[in-house]
Amino acid sequence: MTSALSSLQDDAQLDDIIDRLLDEIRQLCLTAKEIFMTQPNLLELEAPIKICGDIHGQYSDLLRLFEYGGFPPEANYLFLGDYVDRGKQSLETICLLLSYKIKYPENFFLLRGNHECASINRIYGFYDECKRRYNIRLWKTFTDCFNCLPVAALIDEKILCMHGGLSPELKSLELIKRIPRPTDILKPAEKKARYIYNAMGQRPATPPRPGAPQPQPPPGA
């Protein structure tokens, strides 16, 4: 045991391990990206399938979720986005999800959330985690992969799934299918971008509870 530890403590060998890890993570992103691009922006899926919300870098919670629902391919899964940021293990989380996507491309599905955008995860933790643990180039590799994620899924032609909400300008699901990929949505500046922006980030407004203080306009407004 002592000799094994001492051999791993050799700087050159550790650097080699880190380089191999980086190469493997980059390969995960590239392979997953290719699979995303072969599948439509609006996935058409069939039940039974388990639908899962935000993970946000909570790797241990993701493992518990699989322990409860069944590890793939025991069950089919659709995740609705927000895999990174906030939690401390975004890298482990997204790498496991991408690995399952590659291994079971027709049974395991990932949609894009607003935190799978560079403008968001640059601020909320994923960028800093990549920079601290590896380098910024790795973050850019993930960004390229995220830009290819589908944004919506239709289950049994009845249940429409997405991370956020529907754009009022979305008159037909065909419009989702036509959204080009890869795409990096910073803001809904263009009409074609507003569909994906709303699907990824807009949440239904929650009415304030009775008696709750109301937001006040800024002075001079």
**Residue range 108-143, pLDDT digits in tens:** 999 999 999 999 999 999 999 999 999 999 999 999
Residues 199, 164 contacting (CB under 8 angstroms) = yes
The residue type of 191 is K
Mean pLDDT of the chain: 85
Confirm whether 163 is a catalytic residue. Answer: no
pLDDT, mean of residues 103-112: 98
Token pair belonging to 40: 């439509």
pTM of the model: 0.82
Beta-carbon contacts of 90 under 8 Å, excluding residues fewer than 6 positions away, are: 56, 57, 83, 84, 125, 126, 129
Q: Which position among 101, 115, 163, 194 bears the catalytic label?
A: 115
Instruction: Report phi then psi at 133, rounded to 5.
Output: -90, -30
Class level of CATH domain 21-201 = alpha beta
Distance of CA 155 to the CA centre of its chain: 19
The string of pLDDT tens digits covering residues 154-179 is: 999 999 999 987 777 777 888 889 88
